[in-house]
Structure 1
């Protein structure tokens, strides 16, 4: 894995960070590295996430999906309970993985109508077993399978904590199950059964995903100048301190688009505290060069642009053409064009005085996505330590959960009372 932050240096942009500043910052990185290593060793809450490549047992996951040969896997979860699975399945090129990660009735109806329920494996994921959106969707899925004449207990696997309603359900119906790892917040759980089970059910090489994560673990060293993960986390932090409060995350591969969604949750939920943290913006290269690049080059000077790509990819030739204006394309390939778009965008941002960082993996395969996931988690944890925020909690999210549960009659929560206090000043026609 390679992280190139040359276009984020003060020598390239007056919004950038100087080498001297990074040298001073590196002293803090070394101390934080010791803290992270100790947290991993002791499996402290949050830091245990970075122990997952070693702690995750792929055999447990394979045992849970043994006997199934599904045409589709439907993950019923939300946030960290689905985004990691989406990322890994897409990066491995596995067809047939779907997620119910919202409670939009129209979308849920369409998806369930389109799925071959008799050959679909339902993968229900919630650490607490009480997540309202997940449990509501699961009840809807059960009913749909009953109506289709499918025994849902024969087509369901559960990933949850050691206690809670889902664990009780799994025990009652003898459902195959996996455990959500202790001490690991949901958004950091991709390299566990939470993220790996759908890929395993669809025949993916989850062992190599974990090997990639292990390579990311081995790459952590006490210096940002020697560790790609720490380089990214430290530079992103340094740029935020200089006004880059938005992080536009732009992968140049369709199969990495779910990874950008996963990154957005990781960055936002971990770092958005105490009036601090970068706001992640998701884009896709080269598509969003035609919709967002104008803003990144000429809009507010408050951004870091992160460009992500695999160095090697499958390719497709562009046929020759007799059209003179298009002759430069003929004989080339779509991969060549995408790489040219990547490098042109990178240069155009630098020319516009816009700091940007390049992240590259060797190829988009099982090891590549495992290493990428691990590195971004480590980068986020380092960033949180530098920022001195509580990286592994999400109190603002919990407030909204309590308010929604109170509105639905799930308990007496003072947060629900705040809804009634909303100021209404509407215009209706």
Structure 2
């Protein structure tokens, strides 16, 4: 992973090299804290050890009984699904990957109607084993399998904690089960059993993903000038302190579109604390040059744009044409056009004094994705250290979970009582 922060300097709001020099001393202190946390396997910091602590052999053993399925259906939400979805959507496979990460009944019914459940592995993921959305969807899926005459116990893989409903279910029915890693929040779990079971079921190289993560680990150092991940984390933090409170995250590869969704959860849930944080906005190049770039260039000066791309990709030639005004396209390729769109967007933003950062990987493959996932996690942890926020907690999310559970009769929670206090001002 390479990071170019040149277009984040001397912009509005922007940085100077002198600012970065001063910040680098704080990066060194933050790195020391992160390194201690990793060495002690502290909660949250243990996430950055996953490239070394994850066990690919255990993952392969858990998925081996399923052979070569036609599809894998992951039932999970948030960090229990987005890491796996990022890898699945980025890498091509003959095994289709689907994700039930919402409880929209229309979407659930439509997906189940299209799947051959007899040829599908159901991968149900919940650390606590009590996540309402996940368990509700799993009960619906299990019922659909029964209706289709499929023995769900022969097609189900469980990834969960040591205790809880899912652990009891796995033990009762002797289901293949993987342990979620200790001390790792869900949004930081892509490089673990949580994210990699689907990777293994699709036939991808799990070891290569973890090797990429180790490449990212090896690149960490006590200076932002020597670590791409820390350069990104420090730059985004410093820009947010100067008013760039929106981070428009814009991959120039459709295979990385889900990666932008994963990044959005990581950034929002980790850093949105105590009135601080930077709002992630998902975009896709070149599509959103035509739908969002107007705002980024000419709107409020409160944005950073992160441009992400692989430097190597498959290509497709553009046929010659006699159409007036389009002949310049003939003889080039779609890759050439996308590269030109990338460069034009980057230059357009710079010309408008909008800070932007370029993040590049060599290609979209297992190793590069592992490094990219790790790099963004390390960048997020560094940002949290610099901002003095509790990076690994999510109290605001827990409030909403309690309210929903109380509304459904799952306990007596004062958060649920607050729902009745909603102010109404209807216009019919």
TM-score range, shorter chain: over 0.9
1:147-204 Cα distance to aligned partner (Å, 9 max, x none): 0000100000000001111001000000001110000000000000101101101101
Aligned residues of 2:47 and 2:184 also touching (Cα < 8 A): yes
User: 2:417: which partner in 1?
Assistant: 417
1:239-261 Cα distance to aligned partner (Å, 9 max, x none): 00110000000000001000000
1:346-366 Cα distance to aligned partner (Å, 9 max, x none): 000000110000000111100
Q: Secondary structure at the match of 2:215?
A: helix
1:345-403 Cα distance to aligned partner (Å, 9 max, x none): 00000001100000001111000100000000000000000000000000000000000
1:280-301 Cα distance to aligned partner (Å, 9 max, x none): 0000000111110011001111
User: 2:37: which partner in 1?
Assistant: 39
User: C-alpha separation between the residues in 2 aligned to 1:107 and 1:412?
Assistant: 30
Following TM superposition, by how much is the alpha carbon of 1:405 offset from its aligned partner in structure 2, in angstroms? 0.2
Aligned residues of 2:12 and 2:301 also touching (Cα < 8 A): no
Following TM superposition, by how much is the alpha carbon of 1:67 offset from its aligned partner in structure 2, in angstroms? 2.5
Structure 2 residue 57 is the aligned partner of structure 1 residue 56: no
User: 2:8: which partner in 1?
Assistant: 8
User: C-alpha separation between the residues in 1 aligned to 2:362 and 2:381?
Assistant: 24
User: 2:164: which partner in 1?
Assistant: 164
Following TM superposition, by how much is the alpha carbon of 1:128 offset from its aligned partner in structure 2, in angstroms? 0.2
Following TM superposition, by how much is the alpha carbon of 1:14 offset from its aligned partner in structure 2, in angstroms? 3.9
Following TM superposition, by how much is the alpha carbon of 1:89 offset from its aligned partner in structure 2, in angstroms? 1.1
User: 1:18: which partner in 2?
Assistant: 16
User: C-alpha separation between the residues in 2 aligned to 1:363 and 1:219?
Assistant: 18
Following TM superposition, by how much is the alpha carbon of 1:71 offset from its aligned partner in structure 2, in angstroms? 0.6
Alignment of 1:242-391 (within 5 A): 242-391=242-391
User: 2:186: which partner in 1?
Assistant: 186
User: 2:197: which partner in 1?
Assistant: 197
Following TM superposition, by how much is the alpha carbon of 1:93 offset from its aligned partner in structure 2, in angstroms? 2.0
Describe the shift of the 1:14–1:292 C-alpha distance in structure 2 as closer, same or farther (beyond 3 A).
closer
Aligned residues of 2:13 and 2:302 also touching (Cα < 8 A): no
Q: Which runs of 4+ in 1 moved over 2 A?
A: none
User: C-alpha separation between the residues in 2 aligned to 1:404 and 1:222?
Assistant: 43
User: C-alpha separation between the residues in 2 aligned to 1:352 and 1:63?
Assistant: 54
User: C-alpha separation between the residues in 2 aligned to 1:15 and 1:87?
Assistant: 31
User: C-alpha separation between the residues in 1 aligned to 2:88 and 2:220?
Assistant: 26
Alignment of 1:205-216 (within 5 A): 205-216=205-216
User: 1:79: which partner in 2?
Assistant: 78
Unmatched tracts of structure 2, length 5 or more: none
Aligned residues of 2:89 and 2:258 also touching (Cα < 8 A): yes
Aligned residues of 1:125 and 1:158 also touching (Cα < 8 A): yes
User: 1:89: which partner in 2?
Assistant: 88
User: C-alpha separation between the residues in 1 aligned to 2:282 and 2:323?
Assistant: 35
Alignment of 1:88-237 (within 5 A): 88-94=87-93, 95-237=95-237
Aligned residues of 1:93 and 1:255 also touching (Cα < 8 A): no
User: C-alpha separation between the residues in 1 aligned to 2:387 and 2:209?
Assistant: 30
Aligned residues of 2:5 and 2:357 also touching (Cα < 8 A): yes
Q: Secondary structure at the match of 2:159?
A: strand
381-390 or 84-93, larger mean C-alpha shift: 84-93
Following TM superposition, by how much is the alpha carbon of 1:324 offset from its aligned partner in structure 2, in angstroms? 2.8
1:23-65 Cα distance to aligned partner (Å, 9 max, x none): 0100010011111111111110000000000000001001111
Aligned residues of 2:32 and 2:222 also touching (Cα < 8 A): yes
Q: How many residues align?
A: 426
User: 1:402: which partner in 2?
Assistant: 402
CA-based RMSD of the aligned residues comes to: 0.7
Following TM superposition, by how much is the alpha carbon of 1:322 offset from its aligned partner in structure 2, in angstroms? 1.4
User: C-alpha separation between the residues in 1 aligned to 2:168 and 2:108?
Assistant: 25
User: C-alpha separation between the residues in 2 aligned to 1:14 and 1:171?
Assistant: 57
User: C-alpha separation between the residues in 2 aligned to 1:226 and 1:401?
Assistant: 41
User: C-alpha separation between the residues in 2 aligned to 1:162 and 1:342?
Assistant: 46
User: C-alpha separation between the residues in 1 aligned to 2:229 and 2:198?
Assistant: 27
Following TM superposition, by how much is the alpha carbon of 1:270 offset from its aligned partner in structure 2, in angstroms? 0.1
Aligned residues of 2:317 and 2:332 also touching (Cα < 8 A): yes
